[in-house]
Amino acid sequence: MKFLIVSLLFGFVVTSSSNCSSSIKNAPIELRALYTKDALINAIGILQDAAIGAEAQHVIHVDQARPIVEFCNSSLKVIRDSEDGWKSTVNTGLNQLQINVDTSRFNSLIQVIRTILVGVQ
């Protein structure tokens, strides 16, 4: 149930942020970069919450949830601690996560993260 609620909340956040994205296009590039970085941080946080919730509800096993949470934590740390160069690190980590763990239940969340990464300047 929590997994469904998190997924619906994520859809609301994505829809809401897409409505704001047209006004951000006219903003200075520095502001757009911060907006995109903030959207990425939010999407990674939602992926982490979804993995934790899915494990708590026994939808996935802890062995699946742990690497997802570790990816999220390390990605957020890299984004926070680095001014630039973090995009490739996060993208590589996401690729490795999908190779090593069955993330099929989280494909929509992962696709949103990939879409935001493409928009990072």
User: Could you read off the pLDDT of 59-102 as tens digits, one per residue?
Assistant: 999 999 999 999 999 999 999 998 888 999 999 999 999 999 99
Tens digit of pLDDT for each residue in 42-62? 999 999 999 999 999 999 999
3-state secondary structure of 101: coil
pTM: 0.76
Residue 26 DSSP code: T
pLDDT tops 60 at residue 105: yes
- What tokens were used for 18? 């897409």
Q: Categorise residue 58: left if φ over 0, alpha if ψ from -120 to 50, beta otherwise.
A: left
